[in-house]
């Protein structure tokens, strides 16, 4: 709906890829609805995935023994995080919905996107004990993981060799998003696009555009072990 803000965090090297097209479709469809859409194109930005001392501007809280979690928390409170992190945090703060668009790498997100999680969602900004899970600091936001796989739907079925695809969603959806208080919409998964026809791939794009039309009416999943492992 008009006025809603969406941040798409996108991790693919090739604009012509299916991931690139899925991202474009989302920008188009959501813009058409009157949403304001921002994209963090991680490879194009050459986003830094490594969590290092460079993320803190100025002096350290404890220069004797570097603790990344403590240092970024302290730096956040005094406005001393590096500018790339402050910029990403602003985008997150403004967004009603976060869409993560990526190819599945090793049952998870690519390292460049994991680095976005590691570095952007710092304590003080995204969570701060006891404000985690349902009372996480990013509550009232939604997240959606949209990704492509190498393996087929059959491999990722419950009895399949790679196990139920929901098993691998636990760390991303529960461990990260739910921890920060974000409510999670059902994932959007395109299975094995490299092994289907061009026509099938077009259908995948259409299906995504279709889903986006009624996305704002969707209820979040029940982010508990039952959803993942039952």
Please report whether residue 187 would count as binding a copy of itself according to CB under 8 A: no
Report the residue number, 34 or 229, with the smaller CB distance to a copy of itself. 229
The interface region with a copy of itself, picked from 21-29, 135-143, 182-190, 222-230 by CB under 8 A, is 222-230
Decide: 158 and 122 in contact? Cβ < 8 Å: no
Which one of 4, 24, 38, 51 is in contact with a copy of itself (CB under 8 A)?
51
The phi, psi pair for 223, rounded to 5°, reads -75, 70
The interface region with a copy of itself, picked from 81-89, 136-144, 165-173, 200-208 by CB under 8 A, is 165-173
Please report whether residue 135 would count as binding a copy of itself according to CB under 8 A: no
Report the residue number, 158 or 217, with the smaller CB distance to a copy of itself. 158
- Which residue in this structure is represented by tokens 């993560």? 100
Decide: 84 and 48 in contact? Cβ < 8 Å: yes
Report how far residue 160's alpha carbon sits from residue 206's, in angstroms, rounded to the nearest whole number: 27
Which one of 22, 176, 184, 190 is in contact with a copy of itself (CB under 8 A)?
176
Considering CB under 8 A, how many residues would be counted as binding a copy of itself?
49
Q: Is the dihedral of CA 219, 150, 39, 121 positive or negative?
A: positive
Report how far residue 114's alpha carbon sits from residue 109's, in angstroms, rounded to the nearest whole number: 6
Decide: 97 and 91 in contact? Cβ < 8 Å: no
Which one of 24, 33, 61, 68 is in contact with a copy of itself (CB under 8 A)?
68
Q: Which of 193, 209, 149, 197 is nearest to 18 (CA)?
A: 193
Would you tell me which residues interact with a copy of itself (CB under 8 A)?
13-14, 16-17, 43, 46, 49-53, 64-69, 105-108, 110-112, 114-115, 117-119, 121, 133, 150, 161-164, 167-168, 170-172, 174-176, 179, 194, 225, 228-229
């Amino acid at each position: 709906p008009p006025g809603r803000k969406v941040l798409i965090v996108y991790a693919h090297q090739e604009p012509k890829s299916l991931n690139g097209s899925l991202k474009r479709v989302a920008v188009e469809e959501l813009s058409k609805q009157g949403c304001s859409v921002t994209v963090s194109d991680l490879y194009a930005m050459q986003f830094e995935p490594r969590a290092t001392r460079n993320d803190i501007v100025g002096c350290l809280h404890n220069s004797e023994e570097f603790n990344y979690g403590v240092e970024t928390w302290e730096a956040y409170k005094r406005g001393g995080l590096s500018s790339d992190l402050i910029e990403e945090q602003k985008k997150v703060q403004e967004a009603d919905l976060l869409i993560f668009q990526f190819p599945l790498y090793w049952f998870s997100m690519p390292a460049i996107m994991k680095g976005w999680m590691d570095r952007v969602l710092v304590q003080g900004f995204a969570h701060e004990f006891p404000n985690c899970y349902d009372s996480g600091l990013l509550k009232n936001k939604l997240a959606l993981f949209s990704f492509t796989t190498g393996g087929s739907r059959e491999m990722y079925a419950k009895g399949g060799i790679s196990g139920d695809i929901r098993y691998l969603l636990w760390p991303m959806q529960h461990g990260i998003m739910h921890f920060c208080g974000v409510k999670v919409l059902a994932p959007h998964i395109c299975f094995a696009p490299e092994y289907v026809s061009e026509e099938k791939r077009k259908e995948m794009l259409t299906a995504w555009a279709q889903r986006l039309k009624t996305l704002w009416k969707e209820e979040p999943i029940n982010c508990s072990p039952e959803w993942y492992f039952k």
